[in-house]
Amino acid sequence: MKHTALTPVFVGLRTGLHVVFVVLTGIVVVRAVVSPTPSSGVVVALCAVLLATYAAGGIFARRRSGSSRRAALLWLLVLSVEWIALVWLIPEAAYLVFPIFFLYLHLLPGWWGPIAVVAATALAIVALGIHGGWTVGGVVGPLVGAAVAILIGLGYRALARESAEREQLMLELIATRDQLLATERESGVLAERARLAREIHDTVAQGLSSIQMLLHAAEREAPDGPGVEYVRLARETAATNLADARRFVRELTPAALVEQGIGAALRRLADTQWRSSALEVQVRVSDELELPMPVQTALLRIAQGAMANVVQHAEARSATIAIERDADTVRLTISDDGRGFDPAAAAAAKASGASDSFGLTAARERVDQLGGVLTIDAEPGHGSTITVDLKVEDAG
């Protein structure tokens, strides 16, 4: 049995059951010895066999936690037959039915457990009636014991079910946390790669392109002038370095975008990182959508940051990511049905340092760099919608 917060409760209940079984069997042995009858020897021998069978079942269950239900049912059948034989010989054995009740309720599936309890109760009442005559105590005692056993058994099952549900929730929480950590790591790496790509494109590549054009102009101005071969060599070197710089920019672009496009990249992230048993994610992006690589990269980063917030904070049941394009504008929409938030309060908390959330700030800065517009429509208790509009020609 896996260790959980309720494990001590289960261990205590099982230990109590073992103690009660041994004590009641001991009482039967003492009664047989103190008040000997022709069958006393058989009673003592049956008690020894009963205890051995009970102990063997406990040891087998402990050593083979994955033992088959068939073996457990066979053990329970043997134990029941031994108890029936014992109760037919001595009336005190009828009280052993109480711990046996719990075995029925624990090992038999569904309603078979209570049915077996009712049958064993009837057997105990009949045995007591045969041995000592029909009395109120002989009838009420087993009935009360059966009722108490059923109530405790139902409580035990409820505890076991709650423990299993808690463990499943914990496993899902751990899996979600691992996914978030992986997403954050990947987002950080990809964001740094994108930043380097922008820096190389805006500085080194642009500078080399300008140098190449100036050298080419100088070469045209004086094609036969002194040192023109050095100008030509410098221009060719600049062209080679510009090609290298552009290759670096391409290599720093997310591989998923280069190989699949933004629609497939978002669907892959939805399947592997964002979707869970509690959150359904829909991606509505046409596979035919064509966008400049810088725009795709920006939209992918913004979607990653927004979905990280949805997974971690929104407690949503569903989320939708959609990208639409007209002639010169592309729109990204990310919506969820979670608990929502107050955008003004979130911005104030960020400004005051009360919040360390960086996702929306980073998204807004990225959109501003591309000359776009980011809007947030959110309200506590009513989900949230983030919309990003970018001009394709300006961003590209």
pLDDT, averaged across the chain: 80
Q: Rounded distance, CA 15 to CA 82, Å?
A: 22
pLDDT at residue 356, rounded to an integer: 47
Cβ(82)–Cβ(96) under 8 Å? no
Say if 205 falls within a structural domain: no
Kindly report the CATH number assigned to the domain that includes residue 267.
3.30.565.10
What is the SS3 assignment for 329? Answer: strand
The rounded Cα 199 to chain-centroid distance in angstroms is 39
Which DSSP helix (H) or strand (E) runs through 368?
helix 359-369
Q: Is the pLDDT of residue 198 over 90?
A: no
Domain extent for 321: 259-396
Say if 19 falls within a structural domain: yes
pLDDT band at 105 (very low <50, low <70, confident <90, very high): confident
**Residue 62: which of 111, 113, 18 has the closest Cα?**
18
Residue found under tokens 């776009």: 372
| Sheet strand arrangement including 384-391 | 280-284, 318-325, 329-336, 384-391, 373-378
pLDDT at residue 377, rounded to an integer: 92
> What own/partner pairs with CB < 8 Å and gap ≥ 24 does 240-247 have?
241/208, 242/205, 242/208, 242/209, 242/212, 245/200, 245/201, 245/204, 245/205, 245/208, 246/201, 246/205
Last residue of a domain, one of 106, 134, 162: 134
Q: Which two tokens stand for residue 81?
A: 């037959």
pLDDT at residue 55, rounded to an integer: 85
Say if 49 falls within a structural domain: yes
Identity of the residue numbered 86: L
Per residue in 327-368, pLDDT (tens digit) is: 889 999 999 999 988 888 877 766 665 554 556 777 888 888
Half-sphere exposure of 140 (CA within 13 A, CB side): 3
Say if 165 falls within a structural domain: no
The domain tally of the chain equals 2
Say if 182 falls within a structural domain: no
- Other C-beta atoms lying within 10 Å of the C-beta of residue 88: 16
Cβ(346)–Cβ(357) under 8 Å? yes
**Residue 174: which of 260, 91, 276, 33 has the closest Cα?**
276
Question: Which residues neighbour 112 within 8 Å (Cβ) at sequence distance 6 or greater?
Answer: 104
Say if 247 falls within a structural domain: no
Q: Which two tokens stand for residue 203?
A: 């500085």
Say if 158 falls within a structural domain: no
The per-residue b/e assignment along 176-207, b for 16 or more CB within 10 angstroms, e otherwise, is beebeeebeeebeebbebbeebbebbeebbee
Say if 11 falls within a structural domain: yes
Last residue of a domain, one of 134, 164, 182: 134
- When comparing pLDDT for 18 and 187, which is higher? 18
Last residue of a domain, one of 105, 134, 163: 134
